[in-house]
Structure 1
Amino acid sequence: MNKKINQILAFDTIKQHLTEYVASPLGQEEIVKLEPATTFEEIQNWQEETEDGVKLLRIRGGMPIPKMDNIQPHIKRLEIGAVLSGVELAQIGRILSATTDVVRFFNQLKEDEIELFQLYTLSTALVHLPEVDCLIRQSIDEDGHILDDASPALKGIRTGLKKSEAAIREKLDNIVRGKQAKLLSDAIVTMRNDRYVIPVKQEYRTSFGGIVHDQSASGQTLFIEPQSVVDQNNRLRQLQIEERQEMDRILAEISNAIAPFSVELLQNMRILGRLDFTQAKAKYGREIKGSKPIINTENHVYFKSARHPLLDPDTVVANDIMLGKEYQAIVITGPNTGGKTITLKTLGLLQLMGQAGLQLPVDEESEMGIFTEIFADIGDEQSIEQSLSTFSSHMTNIVHILDKLTPETLVLFDELGAGTDPQEGAALAIAILDYVGTTGAYVMATTHYPELKAYGYNRKGTINASVEFDVETLSPTYKLLIGVPGRSNAFDISKRLGLETVIIDAAKGMIDAESQNVNEMIEDLENRRKMVETEYLEVRYHVDEAESLQKDLEKSVADFYQEREQLLEAARQKANLMVEKAQDESEKIIKDLRNMQLTGQHSGGIKEHQLIDAKTQLSQLHQEELTHNKVLKKAKAKQQLAPGKDVMVASLGQRGTLIEQYDDNHWQVQMGILKMKLKTSDLTLTQAQDEPVTKRVTTVRSSTQSHVSTELDLRGERYESALAKVDQYLDAAILAGYPQVTIIHGKGTGALRQGVNDLLKGHRSVKSFSLAPANQGGSGATIVLFK
């Protein structure tokens, strides 16, 4: 693809923005080489790489890519037998360490079964060299200094150096702080020629003996190595030479160990650079709120809500841009500064970015094409040096473009035919568009010529478009309207600015009827479009609302059936347990009776067949419970709730009196001083205490009495259900006489906690409430004090 288009459409600027997100020069080199691809396979691979990077950025915060240097020069030196410096080895060590971290990172992703398109294949090409990595880590630090533990000999030498330096400094410090300090220009110990010296006044140069290494600029101070430390300085110098020799030996040993792996090291460096580049693409995609486009091999372009990536994201107007499916040419008309040129550049730049593997600032499911060339004639390219006018410059560029057109070419013309006589310019523009159409190339052109509005209607595969202009505010809206040509707003604008009506009417009379009819037709089309758009938005709102309600209803129904089945199963199991317990007790009684009969305690009073019949009836009771629970149904049917009757509230373990019935499922019950609304299923009729017992009734009771806890756990409850439980629980706790209770609502989003607080504020029996201490749940629980 031609290089000029990168500059015209600002693709080079996009590359500069990418460099802000790379961590190493290796990634920058990948950005410098970045050019749009022209084959489906390559574009697809690049887009999938970027999508992988976006996914890893989202779920893992990105890949562990550190700052790295280009080690290719170091490898070349190794290949000719050179010994690398500590800094060079440290740079290679960073490549090896990064390789280890990245390999471990991708192995963990595989264990977690994270699916990726391309990066697993790329990462498996990394060669892990743990022995070489360990050798460098043990010998060289990150700044390239050789560590003491690089070898036993080096450690011994450096230990001797420290001791020697300490002894020399101690001896010189005694001089500096002793009686001879008055002979010195300054009470310090310094170094000259890698040897320790002291500053001595010129007149006392013979007082210390030794060697003079330097003097001050005035000559009044001499830097003397006293005779008393000459031997020690000589020993120190010898140790320094031995240290240098040992360090050279270590560097040579490490260099020789690395040399056989030069190919693997270069391969790792390139892969890490590619991963760094991929991560930079992902970060840039996140910055522009981009998405992965669908690659359309038939060059059907559909950018949904496309935004120019270099404009302010807070003010840029998103537009749908479509080209290639129903039409291969778009002619955009409209006023200046309305956004026509930006639309051209947005289409071209997004195509370049997509073909370069970058994500695009468009909505999901957008489609891009594959163009082997993108040409553009945009802006004023007047050349003073070549003595070319604006028209001549444009025409020279257009001639060059027309010579290279193919069916896989995208052409962008800005103000086609401008700069010359309007009639001739319009004719040239139409002829050029016709020629482009015969080649099968795709084209988007902007123009002011009214003749091209009719061209968009009459030519097959061509459509008009315009940029909207708000006459009320006298400003463009930058909204692209496909299928509606732009109209001149000169008369409307002039009228709003105060131009006399008589002048405007005279001007209207000077234009021909055909042009006037075209403008009126365009105005009518715009009005119809706005009306349809308003109706569409209204219908879309109602459709979205209906879909939301349907989803809520379906979920509620599903939850209802699931909860109903769970409650039925729980009730069935509880009933069966009660029957089984009663049966066990009955069998024990029967067994005892049989034993008593056998022992003669009730001779002739109990018959065997009577015992068998009793046991059979108990067994049948158990089967009914297991199947349809008919006994409970019959007992329930006999209950006739009515106002004034006494009932037992099962959930509270309290007696009450029925006041009135709210509906089929709820009654108002008086319990002491409290009146509560309770479910019918929670109520059981009880006999009045003064009512004579006319019938013997056998009942099965739970071994434990109803009990109200001092805590209410609402975690996992739905909002409305939870608040209903709180209201009911507060009344039960007051009846139980508790001074305070704890309501556990969890932290979550805080909505349930706020709902509980609002309920507590309005409850007449609540004295105060507050969040629980940290060791009792903190903000996940509320403690309630009663009056």
Structure 2
Amino acid sequence: MNERMLRVLEFNKITEQLSNEAATSVGKELSLRLTPNRSLKAVQKLQDETDEAVTVLRLNLSVPFGGITDIRPSLKRSVIGGVLNPNECLEIANTIYGGRKTKQFIEKIEADISLLKELIQQIDPLQQLEQQIKKCIDDQANVLDQASPKLQSIRSSIRTYEARIREKLNSYIRTKSKLLSDAIITIRNERYVLPVKHEHRSSFGGIVHDQSSSGQTLFMEPNALVELNNELQAVSVQEEQEIQAILYKLTEQIAEQQDTLYENVKVLGEADFIFARARLAQKMKAAMPKINDAGIIKMKQARHPLIPHSEVVANDIEIGNEFHTIVITGPNTGGKTVTLKMVGLCTLMAQSGLQIPALDGCELSVFDHVFADIGDEQSIEQNLSTFSSHMTNIVSIMDQVNDQSLVLFDELGAGTDPQEGAALAMSILDEAMEKGARVIATTHYPELKAYGYNRDKVINASVEFDVESLQPTYRLLIGVPGRSNAFEISTRLGLKQSIIERAKNHIGIDSKSVESMISALEQSKRQAIKEYEDAHNLLLESEKLKADLEQKWKQFDEQREALYKKTEEKAEKALTNAREQAETIVKEMRLKQSNSTMKEHEWIEAKRLLDTSMPRLSNRQADNNVEHKDEILKELQKNDEVLVKTFNQQGTILEKISSNEYFVQVGMMKLKIQRQHLKPLKKETTYVEKQTTPIKSQSLIKPQLDVRGLRYEEAMHELEKYLDNALLSGFNQVTIIHGKGTGALRKGVLKNIENHPHISSYRVGSMNEGGSGVTIAEIK
């Protein structure tokens, strides 16, 4: 992008704001060097990176960029042979640590931030180098004693000499305090001295290293300390030499890793730069734009990025789809130039990976060039008029413009004769349109108000002016050309009505028609906006009503389920009572069996009473078990297979007695059963319906029962039930498998069979039937 265009649109102010959001010097540098990108793919990646960082910030997470500095100058010095000082080494260690912490932090984030994670994967932890530096240098950039055994020994000697020197000086203070200006020990020229009064110089004795500003105090080194101070200085020189050796070794280790360190700094700076873009987006309350390369700009409630949010007026703007040129007319200070700069600046921001201050769903295009001719750039040095200055710039623009250009003209054709200027403006707009550029132009010329009606892909727009308050509203009205409002403003300011009426007579019929048309368009626009707002409010109310209804339906559904649950709990209690009644019926049946011979029809009737004593659950549960409610209406035919619901047994239709009664063969028995107790079965299908009560469903009866492994009482209970069902199923013979074992089960089975009224005989199984582990009973 042209540097002049970036300056005219004040893009540098955006980069300055961006740099203030960066946490590191590297990130600040990248922010200040930011320029728009012209590749659709690259711009989309930049936007995706910014959006991922915004996602992290929305989670109230703060990336730990602390301690990271631009160590690249130090790395360069290490490579060319320089020895890094302790502070430089410490900065490198802190940057390594900061990079590792940043990498760990981003890796732990569970949100979908694949681009950020891919970026920080390039960071090398370099933990060993960091530990080596921290072993030698503390957090205040001091070389530690343990940096080397030799340095530790030297510093031990230094502390010994210092202690001896201080001991001697303290003895001087005690014995010759009257000769001293102050009872303190101080250092001059790296040697320990005492402050001696000037008049006692000769009596004190020693070397003078300095004096006070008044000359009344001399800083003297006693003769007895000269040798000790000399020895201390010698050891101090050894200390400095050892420190330099340690720093040289550290510098060599750093130089060996300089490529990796360079890459770490680059990645960390890039990550900081991305998060700076995200923080700026949050401050601007910006949104991620959709990016295209078709020249389409579509923004809802877009705001100028450099105007405070509390002061700026948001506007909708669209270009590049139905129309490619917008001509904005209206009074001065109405916001036309602000609109131009807003569109241009938002485009540059989007192409730089920055989110824009507009509502979600905004769309911006990637342009090869953004051209702007804005403001009075008259050059006194070149003695150019305003018109000449603008035209020089426009000539340069028209030489470069193409179908991948966005062109912004402010007061096109201004500064010369109105008729010639208007004609020139229309010609320039025609040329730009022919080249396929997207153009937004502002003008005062009334001739251009009709321009949009005579050209395809061109639309008029204006900035609204409130005649009542005599103030612009800064609202952009697309599709409505601007009015001068001169008569209305003059009337509000108190100009005589006679003068205004005389002025209206001087206006031509065409001008009056245009003004009337504009007035009608403005009124229609306001009405449309009002209707849109009413419709939007109605939509919001409808959505709220829908949400309330959904919430109430959910509450109703929960209450209904609770009632169902409560009902089923009551049913369960009823079933428990029913089971107790059933047990009573069974006991009575057993008693009858033992006292007298029970006839077949009495047994079946008792069985029916047992089944029907079980209460049904709620209709809801019962309905779930009925597959076809209309099956009651279906007429059954002779030989149809049916399920007798009351016995849960399979049978065959023998004949129809009446419209609602049939003779049914169930095993050996022929029964009269009503239609509602019969369910048709598909042919060649063996079926036993699952009962609608919680009683355990019976499976189809087999000709044998295996009671091995059961406890005695349980086995006897199963045997009783089995013999009852075998009788109903029409079996002539059944096999009871009880095993040999201790013989307890066999004795129980034989005792039960002996007392059963419907067992005619029984025998032990043959060898091929299971031997003494099996008893075979004949049913009469």
Q: TM-score range by the shorter chain?
A: 0.7 to 0.9
What is the total number of aligned residue pairs between the two structures? Answer: 621
Q: Is the 8 A contact 1:214 1:223 kept in 2?
A: yes
For residue 295 of structure 2, give the secondary structure of its aligned residue in structure 1: coil
Q: Is the 8 A contact 1:583 1:618 kept in 2?
A: no
Q: Is the 8 A contact 2:197 2:217 kept in 1?
A: yes
Instruction: Summarize the alignment of residues 31-430 of structure 1 with structure 2, pairs less than 5 Å apart.
Output: 31-109=31-109, 112=110, 114-176=111-173, 178-205=174-201, 207-217=203-213, 219-430=215-426
Cα distance between partner residues in 1 of 2:615 and 2:264: 74
Cα distance between partner residues in 1 of 2:114 and 2:430: 43
Q: Deviations over 1:164-212 (max 9, x none)?
A: 4344334423432x24100112211101121211112244345555443
For residue 312 of structure 2, give the secondary structure of its aligned residue in structure 1: coil
Q: Is the 8 A contact 1:23 1:67 kept in 2?
A: no
Cα distance between partner residues in 2 of 1:236 and 1:591: 115
Does residue 483 of structure 1 match 2:479? Answer: yes
Amino acid at match of 1:137: K
Q: Is the 8 A contact 1:148 1:155 kept in 2?
A: yes
Q: Percent identity?
A: 45
Alignment-derived partner of residue 714 in structure 1: none
Q: Is the 8 A contact 2:589 2:606 kept in 1?
A: no
Q: Is the 8 A contact 2:22 2:272 kept in 1?
A: yes
Instruction: Summarize the alignment of residues 618-629 of structure 1 with structure 2, pairs less than 5 Å apart.
Output: 624-625=616-617
Q: Deviations over 1:449-480 (max 9, x none)?
A: 11111111110110000011111111111100
Cα distance between partner residues in 2 of 1:146 and 1:364: 55
Give the C-alpha shift of residue 16 in structure 1: 1.1
For residue 197 of structure 1, give the secondary structure of its aligned residue in structure 2: strand
Give the C-alpha shift of residue 567 in structure 1: 4.0
Cα distance between partner residues in 2 of 1:85 and 1:580: 90
Distance change in 2, residues 1:160/1:591 (3 Å): farther
Give the C-alpha shift of residue 217 in structure 1: 4.8
Alignment-derived partner of residue 511 in structure 1: 507
Alignment-derived partner of residue 760 in structure 1: none
Cα distance between partner residues in 1 of 2:582 and 2:161: 100
Give the C-alpha shift of residue 304 in structure 1: 1.0
**Stretches of structure 2 lacking an aligned partner (at least 5 in a row):** 623-780
For residue 480 of structure 1, give the secondary structure of its aligned residue in structure 2: strand
Give the C-alpha shift of residue 586 in structure 1: 6.9
Amino acid at match of 1:201: K
Cα distance between partner residues in 1 of 2:175 and 2:218: 19
Distance change in 2, residues 1:134/1:575 (3 Å): farther
Alignment-derived partner of residue 667 in structure 2: none
Give the C-alpha shift of residue 258 in structure 1: 2.0
Alignment-derived partner of residue 20 in structure 1: 20
Distance change in 2, residues 1:174/1:575 (3 Å): farther
Alignment-derived partner of residue 531 in structure 1: 527
Q: Deviations over 1:542-575 (max 9, x none)?
A: 2221222122212321342244224423542464
Cα distance between partner residues in 2 of 1:404 and 1:307: 29
Q: Deviations over 1:358-393 (max 9, x none)?
A: 110011000001111111111112222111111111
Cα distance between partner residues in 2 of 1:441 and 1:501: 46
Larger radius of gyration: 2
Q: Deviations over 1:274-309 (max 9, x none)?
A: 111111111111111111100022111001111001
Q: Of 442, 446, 450, which aligns to 2:442?
A: 446
Q: Is the 8 A contact 1:380 1:390 kept in 2?
A: yes
Q: Deviations over 1:644-678 (max 9, x none)?
A: xxxxxxxxxxxxxxxxxxxxxxxxxxxxxxxxxxx
Cα distance between partner residues in 1 of 2:313 and 2:223: 84
Q: Deviations over 1:326-359 (max 9, x none)?
A: 1111101111111111111111111011111111
Does residue 435 of structure 1 match 2:450? Answer: no
Cα distance between partner residues in 2 of 1:591 and 1:224: 125
Cα distance between partner residues in 2 of 1:103 and 1:621: 73
Distance change in 2, residues 1:219/1:464 (3 Å): closer
Q: Deviations over 1:714-763 (max 9, x none)?
A: xxxxxxxxxxxxxxxxxxxxxxxxxxxxxxxxxxxxxxxxxxxxxxxxxx
Q: Is the 8 A contact 2:407 2:438 kept in 1?
A: yes
Distance change in 2, residues 1:80/1:535 (3 Å): closer
Cα distance between partner residues in 1 of 2:298 and 2:439: 14
**Stretches of structure 1 lacking an aligned partner (at least 5 in a row):** 631-787
For residue 118 of structure 1, give the secondary structure of its aligned residue in structure 2: helix
Give the C-alpha shift of residue 428 in structure 1: 0.8
Alignment-derived partner of residue 30 in structure 1: 30
Cα distance between partner residues in 1 of 2:378 and 2:208: 75
Cα distance between partner residues in 2 of 1:141 and 1:332: 65
Cα distance between partner residues in 2 of 1:441 and 1:629: 71
Q: Is the 8 A contact 1:583 1:619 kept in 2?
A: no
Question: TM (normalized to structure 2)?
Answer: 0.74
Q: Is the 8 A contact 1:50 1:278 kept in 2?
A: yes
Distance change in 2, residues 1:476/1:228 (3 Å): same
Cα distance between partner residues in 2 of 1:125 and 1:179: 69
Give the C-alpha shift of residue 246 in structure 1: 2.6
Q: Does 202-211 or 550-559 show the bigger shift?
A: 202-211
Cα distance between partner residues in 2 of 1:149 and 1:588: 92
Q: Is the 8 A contact 1:301 1:368 kept in 2?
A: yes
Q: Is the 8 A contact 2:325 2:439 kept in 1?
A: yes
* RMSD of equivalent CA atoms: 3.0
Q: Deviations over 1:459-505 (max 9, x none)?
A: 01100000111111111111000000111200111111111111111
Q: Is the 8 A contact 1:183 1:201 kept in 2?
A: yes
Q: Is the 8 A contact 1:62 1:279 kept in 2?
A: no
Give the C-alpha shift of residue 580 in structure 1: 6.4
Q: Is the 8 A contact 1:208 1:227 kept in 2?
A: no
For residue 550 of structure 2, give the secondary structure of its aligned residue in structure 1: helix
Cα distance between partner residues in 2 of 1:99 and 1:608: 95
For residue 624 of structure 1, give the secondary structure of its aligned residue in structure 2: coil
Distance change in 2, residues 1:517/1:187 (3 Å): same
